[in-house]
Amino acid sequence: MEQWYTLYTKPNAEYRAATALQKRGIQAYLPEIESLKTRQGRVRKPFFPCYLFARVDLKAVGLSRVQWTPGLRRIVAFDNWPVPLPDEVINLIQRKLDGINAVGGRSAHTFQPGDSVRITDGPLQGMQAIFEGPTTPAERVRVLLNILGHASRAHVPVTDLEKAIATAETPMLVRPRRTRGRGRRIKSS
């Protein structure tokens, strides 16, 4: 009976392994997502780097026919037995990726370092912060928060941020300079 299995590939070898499996008559599914625009246009990338899925009857085809695919490291297994995935899991992944790709792929934020932002969700909801920059490609960004009079860094999902209007009541996160260096004080007029 054909079932879905998760395959772990070598880095950047997902397409090579999927092509090799299809040449062997094995159905392969490589979830892809549209990435940000490049000079060549939108580029599709694997959603799960180093992973793809194959639908195969291992008893009929044989484990070694799948296991020795170029670019493949191993079949994801538990206690040396390949773990089958329910069809519902693959269908759910396909539906979610279709929805993400329908709106244009991963969201690109328009925040610039130094922008005033408000956190809209999570444990820091309602707090104002200063956008510092991206940290990882996993859509998490770094912001500076004023907590107990000190600037503290926090990592939050970019989807939990919205532009905020800096007001006079917004406390400064960065103290003004008091010296010119080497202890020379700045005289204020």
Domain parsing of the chain, residue ranges: 3-102, 116-163
Q: Are 9 and 72 in contact (CB under 8 A)?
A: yes
Stretch among 44-53, 135-144, 175-184 having the lowest mean pLDDT: 135-144
Task: Write the CB contacts of 47 (distance below 8 Å, at least 6 apart in sequence).
Answer: 31, 32, 33, 93, 97
Task: State how far the Cα of 75 lies from the Cα of 54, in Å rounded to an integer.
Answer: 10
Helix, strand or coil, per DSSP, at residue 183: coil
3-102 homologous superfamily: NusG, N-terminal domain (3.30.70.940)
Average pLDDT estimate for 29-55: 81
Residue with tokens 């397409």: 15
Beta strands at 150-157 and 140-147: parallel, antiparallel or unpaired:
antiparallel
Share of the chain above pLDDT 70, in %: 81
Task: Write the CB contacts of 104 (distance below 8 Å, at least 6 apart in sequence).
Answer: 34
Q: Give the chain's mean pLDDT.
A: 82
* Residue scoring higher pLDDT (55 or 137): 55
pLDDT in tens, 60-116: 998 889 999 999 999 999 988 999 999 999 999 999 888 877 766 655 567 778 888
What is the model's pLDDT at position 146? Answer: 77
What is the model's pLDDT at position 42? Answer: 67
Task: Write the CB contacts of 167 (distance below 8 Å, at least 6 apart in sequence).
Answer: none
Top CATH class, 116-163 = mainly beta
What is the model's pLDDT at position 91? Answer: 94
DSSP state letter for 126? T
